[in-house]
Structure 1
């Protein structure tokens, strides 16, 4: 948890530094790459979570076979997505109004490495080698921060290209330490049919849920970049970065939640106490952050991004509410996902699409965009809570 906190703080410094150095308009282009990195992280998280879950469940030869299959498919997926960025770089430039299409080509070249890195992390997370898991996150964060800031001062090229280069290079450093123990060149390895069905079901549902995470967590920045001018998009990106501190910190609890819940379930023990603990932690954290954003919005923005971004101060606490609601509903969703209950996944998908539609229909101002997110996330949390109480009541009646 301490390491994830340090990594999130480092990533925050990285974003804040770019915002201060580049200014709102140039930061808008950098924010698109950072947002695409977050999108990529959610896609790759499907592989990481599946690897984590079944690293707890599978043992000996089945475990080794599973790991090799995950590496194989993660690499193939990474190559296909990377090629898509390269092939459609011009179209991406037109959609997001960036100064260059080359940034998407550079970004695409690093994607296969990122997917392999995610499986490696999933193994360490599942077998509870949290020290090595911490090293991979620290290596990625530190290298991206150092390389990007160094190249900004050393190379006379557009800042967005520097950001793309820093991101791509950081994936290489994130591979360390790479676990080679279970890797084999035997491509004929398969899983027993019963285990294969179990893996496919979890992987498919996790992929769907991560897609909803992409929609909910990143669609607003992408839509704002499409509907608004570069200056306003840059201002909104700074608002989103500050407001999402709740989600970034909550993620370290999610990383610990999943293997704990799976292990408790495997041992036949009650898991609700773990859920309540984590919901309590996130609720306290969210309350403190929202209150701070409400009482001292100008101070927070001035300290983090500077006076150029102060026009976003009135919206800060509202955006923090939206991300707090999302962070809380996320805890419930991952809890049920780890227990193989998939209805919350579909609920998240429905509300994610609802959020996109609301923003697409109502985007006359940045204020309206934030209000649409609060509405969608409030509904999402309510339905997740209703599902939890219903599930808990059914379990109690059976007992």
Structure 2
């Protein structure tokens, strides 16, 4: 066990995980400050708009994750020209997507206002700016990780956290929904530019060379799985804003914010440390047992915290104006715990060779989304659907078959037998 944790706490995983946790903490402090300053109705609208922005921009993160292996391979071969080509394609994709998003936002201003019960179209434009800035930040961080600039990745998260702390102070002093969303867009844009500069410096003098892409298995499953998880994470907040009264939607989104904070905290330790077991084929079976035991313990512990201290959690997130939503927090903790552990298990199972897990989660996410749209008499009913859907996703991700992993000893034994056989013929 000592060797296991010693090998797990490698520099890249520790730096990336700690920096990510810091940035997520800064984000939730910012969102909490907005919820305190704006109150349940307006604060709930803000959280719903941010949920929509994150749901759209998270696909840039998925694209960055899919590009990372190719960029890392080119970096290892010192092929800066190939990295430059991939960075250019990513930038063009981001720019084209941003233009398309602006066109769609302008075309759907009326339906968008109806969906979120808005009377200010400027808020939709600011939300689009949040999407664009966050997508650029996701892509640039994927590239700095792929070229092994974990120092830049860490400082990027520190800069984002500091800027969000400053913006949170401005929101508390001058509570305004326009200021809240606009300041978030500015923070994300500045953080993205800070992160992009080292990537630009890395490739600017390189001669562009179109790289040969490696054939990798599992990328489609990864994209499908994390797309489904993104929908399950953020769609309910948007639906709540559209289906429920503004005050009730505000209480619901405060509970959802607490749940997402829990997901970030819970996902850190298993994802950074325990997923390293996926690469230890020699201790595959024992590693599996230890991994799932840790996942179960984290999940049960989180559920207990939300069940015992719902009022305290809600006051910390949004203030005493949200106390009426305490029963929602206790229930949402179950759903958030299950989805958090699903994120961890999906990463682990894909790294172990699971190839059908993405399709399973797509089906579950679609069924959950349909159930929320059909069965929405109250906020509690939405949470009930989430509990059922997220629990099913966790069970499905655990049970979905993976390709069998043989230990190194078995592989060496088979190789030795072949060598012996060839020497006697």
Q: TM-score, normalised by structure 2?
A: 0.79
Other-structure match for 1:50: 66
Instruction: Quote how far apart the aligned CAs of 1:237 are.
Output: 0.4
Instruction: Quote how far apart the aligned CAs of 1:272 are.
Output: 6.3
Other-structure match for 1:8: 24
Instruction: Quote how far apart the aligned CAs of 1:160 are.
Output: 2.4
Name structure 1 gaps, 5 residues minimum: none
Q: Distance in 2 between matches of 1:36 and 1:190?
A: 35
Instruction: Quote how far apart the aligned CAs of 1:121 are.
Output: 1.5
Which digits, 9 at most, give the CA deviation of each residue in 1:226-265, with x for residues without a partner?
A: 1112111111000111123331123434763699478x37
Answering whether residue 206 of structure 2 is matched by residue 190 of structure 1, we say no
Answering whether residue 186 of structure 2 is matched by residue 169 of structure 1, we say yes
Which of 236, 252, 256 pairs up with 1:236?
252
Which digits, 9 at most, give the CA deviation of each residue in 1:287-341, with x for residues without a partner?
A: 2321122122223323432222122212222211111111222222112333553
Which of 375, 396, 400 pairs up with 1:387?
400
Which stretch has the larger CA shift, 245-254 or 364-373? 245-254
Which stretch has the larger CA shift, 205-214 or 312-321? 205-214
SS at match of 2:392: helix
Q: Is the 8 A contact 2:361 2:393 kept in 1?
A: yes
Which of 317, 330, 335 pairs up with 1:317?
330
Q: Distance in 2 between matches of 1:321 and 1:314?
A: 12
Answering whether residue 341 of structure 2 is matched by residue 328 of structure 1, we say yes
Q: Is the 8 A contact 1:152 1:162 kept in 2?
A: no
Which of 283, 304, 321 pairs up with 1:291?
304
SS at match of 1:244: helix
Other-structure match for 1:68: 84
SS at match of 1:342: coil
Q: Distance in 1 between matches of 2:90 and 2:275?
A: 21
Answering whether residue 378 of structure 2 is matched by residue 365 of structure 1, we say yes
Distance 1:272 1:43, change over 3 A: farther
Instruction: Quote how far apart the aligned CAs of 1:21 are.
Output: 0.9
Other-structure match for 1:96: 116
Q: Distance in 1 between matches of 2:282 and 2:392?
A: 31
Instruction: Quote how far apart the aligned CAs of 1:280 are.
Output: 4.6
Distance 1:255 1:386, change over 3 A: closer
Which of 106, 114, 132 pairs up with 2:126?
106
Instruction: Quote how far apart the aligned CAs of 1:5 are.
Output: 2.9
Which digits, 9 at most, give the CA deviation of each residue in 1:117-154, with x for residues without a partner?
A: 32331233345543321211222232133225415635
Answering whether residue 364 of structure 2 is matched by residue 351 of structure 1, we say yes
Name structure 2 gaps, 5 residues minimum: 1-16, 412-425
Q: Is the 8 A contact 1:261 1:338 kept in 2?
A: no
Q: Distance in 1 between matches of 2:207 and 2:126?
A: 30
Q: Distance in 1 between matches of 2:53 and 2:47?
A: 10
Instruction: Quote how far apart the aligned CAs of 1:35 are.
Output: 0.8
Q: Distance in 2 between matches of 1:125 and 1:149?
A: 31
Answering whether residue 351 of structure 2 is matched by residue 338 of structure 1, we say yes
Answering whether residue 240 of structure 2 is matched by residue 224 of structure 1, we say yes
Which of 141, 144, 148 pairs up with 1:121?
141
Instruction: Quote how far apart the aligned CAs of 1:116 are.
Output: 3.7
Q: Is the 8 A contact 1:78 1:114 kept in 2?
A: no
Structure showing greater radius of gyration is 2
Q: TM-score, normalised by structure 1?
A: 0.84
Counting matched residue pairs gives: 386
Q: Distance in 2 between matches of 1:65 and 1:204?
A: 26
Other-structure match for 2:14: none
Instruction: Quote how far apart the aligned CAs of 1:49 are.
Output: 1.5
Q: Is the 8 A contact 2:58 2:135 kept in 1?
A: no
